[in-house]
C-alpha cells in the first residue's frame, strides 16, 4: 500500500487515503485477526471486497501506530467502531483506494467515490427537486458527487439505519469548487441538526467528510 493523501483537520481529527497495490495475502499478513473477523473475511466475495476490507484494517493499524490487536466490529446498525481504542472512526473505499477518518473526540464520517456520468441517472433518487434546481452546468456531475459524498458522510456519522438521503437530508445551495464546504440539514426522528461538510476532488474521485462540532 502507498499513502496517497494524509490530512490533519485539527489536533484531534485526521484522515488518510491509501492506494491498494498488494494482493490480499500480503495485506492479511500485516494484520492480527480474531475468529470473528476471520469469519467475516471468509464470507466476503474474493476480489475487491476482500481487498477493501483488508486495506481499511491495515490503514487503521498504520494510523493507530500499533502492532497490537485492533478490535474493529460493527454495531447493530452496521457502523464500525473500535472496541479497544478510544478513537472514533469512519471507513470508506472505492476501486483502488481505501480511506480511514479518525477522531479523538466526536463522531466522524467520510466517503470516497469514483466520479462517473451514471450519477445523472440516479440523482432524483437521493436529491429533492429543490436541491436539483440549484445544480447546473458546467460541473453538474462533480457537484452531484459532492452532494452524494456529503450525504453518505453524514449518514455514517449519525450511524442509524432508516435515514433517507432524499427524505431526511437537505443540502443548501452552494457554489461548487474543486475544494469547498457545503451545509446539510438532517431532519431525522432521532436527530435534527445542521452539518458543515467538506468536499474535495481527489484525482478522478470525489471525497466528502464531516465531524461533530
Domain ranges for the chain, please list them. Answer: 2-104, 111-211
Q: Count other C-beta atoms under 10 Å from residue 94's C-beta.
A: 19
pLDDT digits (tens, 9 = 90+) for 109-138: 999 999 999 999 999 999 999 999 999 888
Q: CA distances (Å), 184 to each of 3, 46, 139, 148, in order? A: 30, 36, 20, 11
Give the 3-state DSSP-derived string for the chain, with helices as H, strands as E and coil as C.
Answer: CEEEEEEECCCCEEEEEEECCCCHHHHHHCCCCCHHHHHHHHHCCCCHHHHHHHHHHHHHHHHHCCCCCCCCCECCCCCECCCCCCCEEEEEEECCEEEEEEECCCCEEEEEEECCCCHHHHHHHHCCHHHHHCCCCCCHHHHHHHHHHHHHHHHHHHCCCCCCCCCCEEECCCCCCCEEEEEEEEEECCEEEEEEEEEEEECCEEEEEEECC
Q: Higher confidence at residue 27 or residue 1?
A: 27
CA atoms within 13 Å, Cβ hemisphere of 111 = 21
Over range 163-186, report the average pLDDT. Answer: 98
CATH number of 2-104: 3.90.470.20
CATH topology for 111-211?
Ribosomal Protein L22; Chain A (3.90.470)
Is residue 94 predicted with pLDDT exceeding 90?
A: yes
On whether the CB atoms of residues 203 and 96 are closer than 8 A, the answer is no
User: What long-range pairs does 73-80 form, CB within 8 A, spacing at least 24?
Assistant: 73/36, 75/159, 77/159, 77/160, 77/161, 78/161, 79/156, 79/159
pLDDT digits (tens, 9 = 90+) for 142-163: 999 999 999 999 999 999 999 9
In angstroms, the CA 176 to CA 58 distance is 33
In angstroms, the CA 82 to CA 90 distance is 10
Q: Do 2-104 and 111-211 fold alike per CATH?
A: yes
Over range 9-18, report the average pLDDT. Answer: 96
What share of the chain in percent tops pLDDT 90? 95
Amino acid at each position: 500500500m502507498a499513502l496517497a493523501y494524509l490530512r490533519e483537520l485539527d489536533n484531534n481529527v485526521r484522515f488518510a487515503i491509501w492506494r491498494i497495490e498488494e494482493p490480499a495475502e500480503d495485506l492479511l499478513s500485516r494484520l492480527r485477526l480474531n475468529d470473528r473477523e476471520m469469519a467475516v473475511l471468509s464470507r466476503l466475495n474474493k476480489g475487491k471486497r476482500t481487498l477493501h476490507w483488508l486495506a481499511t484494517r491495515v490503514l487503521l493499524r498504520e494510523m493507530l501506530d500499533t502492532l497490537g490487536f485492533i478490535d474493529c466490529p460493527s454495531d447493530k446498525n452496521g457502523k464500525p467502531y473500535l472496541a479497544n481504542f478510544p478513537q472514533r472512526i469512519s471507513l470508506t473505499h472505492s476501486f483502488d483506494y481505501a480511506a480511514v477518518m479518525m477522531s479523538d473526540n466526536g463522531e466522524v464520517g467520510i466517503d470516497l467515490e469514483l466520479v462517473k456520468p451514471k450519477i445523472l441517472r440516479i440523482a432524483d433518487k437521493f436529491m429533492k427537486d429543490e436541491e436539483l434546481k440549484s445544480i447546473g452546468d458546467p460541473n453538474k456531475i462533480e457537484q452531484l458527487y459532492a452532494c452524494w459524498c456529503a450525504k453518505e458522510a453524514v449518514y455514517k456519522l449519525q450511524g442509524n439505519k432508516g435515514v433517507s438521503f432524499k427524505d431526511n437530508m437537505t443540502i443548501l445551495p452552494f457554489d461548487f469548487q474543486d475544494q469547498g464546504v457545503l451545509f446539510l440539514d438532517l431532519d431525522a426522528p432521532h436527530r435534527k441538526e445542521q452539518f458543515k461538510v467538506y468536499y474535495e476532488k481527489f484525482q478522478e474521485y470525489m471525497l466528502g467528510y464531516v465531524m461533530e462540532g
